[in-house]
Amino acid sequence: QEHSIDWLGAAILAAGTSALLLGLVWGGREYPWGSAQVLGALAVSVGLLAFFALIERRVPEPILPFDLLRNQTVASSTACMALVGMAMFGTISFVPLFVQGVIGTSATSSGIVLTPLLLGAVITSAISGQIVSRTGRYRPNTLIGPVVLCIGELLLWQMGVHTTNHEAARNMVIAGIGLGMMMQIFVLSVQNSVTRAAMGTATALTQFSRSIGATLGVTLMGVLVNQNLPRAFRARAR
């Protein structure tokens, strides 16, 4: 059976997302937030993404199937995957920067601090996969995982100049456990909620949402860091 590829939708989505990221990166750093460059980039992004939504409703095989999002389980799992991407890649990007710049460790030590996060995520993912395979139940993971991840992120948020490397590693382990409980479970919940014919598209949708969440999350966190760091340095200089 022949299939059509939504090349136009993919191009419009890439252009709209790029314009959004440019507006967020430019704002307050390259140009003022109210400047024509920033507002223009954000306006172009809104227009392109609206055009993308219109295209996806007309093509035979859309790259982002909105019909699947009418399923409550698919919609909620997709949103959670986006949040997982934000939390995971935001932590990976900025915790080493914090450890090196605030705690004062070396560049090597700041990179090693990611090891507890990854080990916690990988080990927990393997264990939770075994539990789900033997019990056939994945809902407990979808309920407990976000709670554990929130606890880990709150602990990371509360770190300061007096935080030790051991405390940072502990917080990273907790966040990693939360991520490990969630990374594959939401994919499984989506696959169990759609027909076999739509399973490939639904699985791709979850990975797409995680990638978009990671991209937007890291960008937004970078905007916050770039906005707050200069003021902190100016206040310290006074």
Give the three-state DSSP class for 31: strand
**Which residues of the chain fall below pLDDT 50?**
237
Q: In a 3-state reduction of DSSP, which class is residue 27?
A: strand
Residue 100, pLDDT score: 82
Retrieve residue 122's tokens: 């990988």
pLDDT score for 233: 54
Q: What is the DSSP letter of 103?
A: I
* Residues belonging to the chain: 238
Give the tens place of pLDDT for each residue, 25-67: 888 778 888 899 999 999 999 999 999 989 988 888 888 778 8
Instruction: Give SS3 for 137.
Output: coil
pLDDT at 237: 47
Name the nearest CA neighbour of 40 among 55, 57, 22, 58.
22
| pTM, two decimal places | 0.77
What is the Rg, in whole angstroms, of the alpha carbon atoms belonging to the chain? 20
